């Protein structure tokens, strides 16, 4: 039994030395990456793109679409809206008309 214990100890010590080598390699790579991260990046102040009124109008448009009462076109005289994206677009355009906080329409 004494022999087995001695073997185990020697094998564990060899494992430790191999792990030390790999850790020293990792630390050198960490140093180079940390020097990259020290460069200051311009922080942008994040603010909401859409206001709460805009989300309410989109919710209302989605609800109408689900019930089949949302219609496209001027004065709602066009066809029924079936597309989810189209319903969101209608909700946002209505919010813009009311003056809610919504980004400008892309061309």
- Domain positions in the chain are 52-98
Higher pLDDT, 101 or 41: 101
Q: Does residue 55 have a pLDDT over 90?
A: yes
Using DSSP, state whether 80 is helix, strand or coil: strand
Percentage of the chain beyond pLDDT 90 is 48
Residue 3 has pLDDT above 90, yes or no: no
Looking at residue 90, what is its pLDDT? 94
More confident residue, 64 or 10: 64
How far, in Å, are 101, 102, 103 from residue 58 at the CA level? 13, 11, 14
Closest by CA position to 79, among listed 88, 69, 89: 69
Give this prediction's pTM: 0.55
Residue 57 has pLDDT above 60, yes or no: yes
How many whole angstroms separate alpha carbon 90 and alpha carbon 70? Answer: 9
């Amino acid at each position: 039994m004494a022999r087995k214990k001695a073997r185990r100890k020697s094998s564990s010590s060899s494992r430790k030395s191999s792990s030390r080598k790999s850790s020293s390699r990792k630390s050198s790579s960490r140093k180079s990456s940390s020097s990259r991260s020290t460069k200051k990046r311009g922080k942008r102040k994040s603010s909401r793109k859409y206001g709460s009124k805009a989300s309410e109008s989109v919710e209302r448009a989605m609800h109408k679409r689900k019930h089949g009462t949302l219609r496209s076109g001027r004065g709602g005289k066009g066809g029924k809206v079936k597309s989810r994206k189209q319903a969101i677009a209608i909700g946002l355009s209505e919010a813009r008309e009311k003056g809610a906080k919504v980004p400008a329409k892309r061309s």
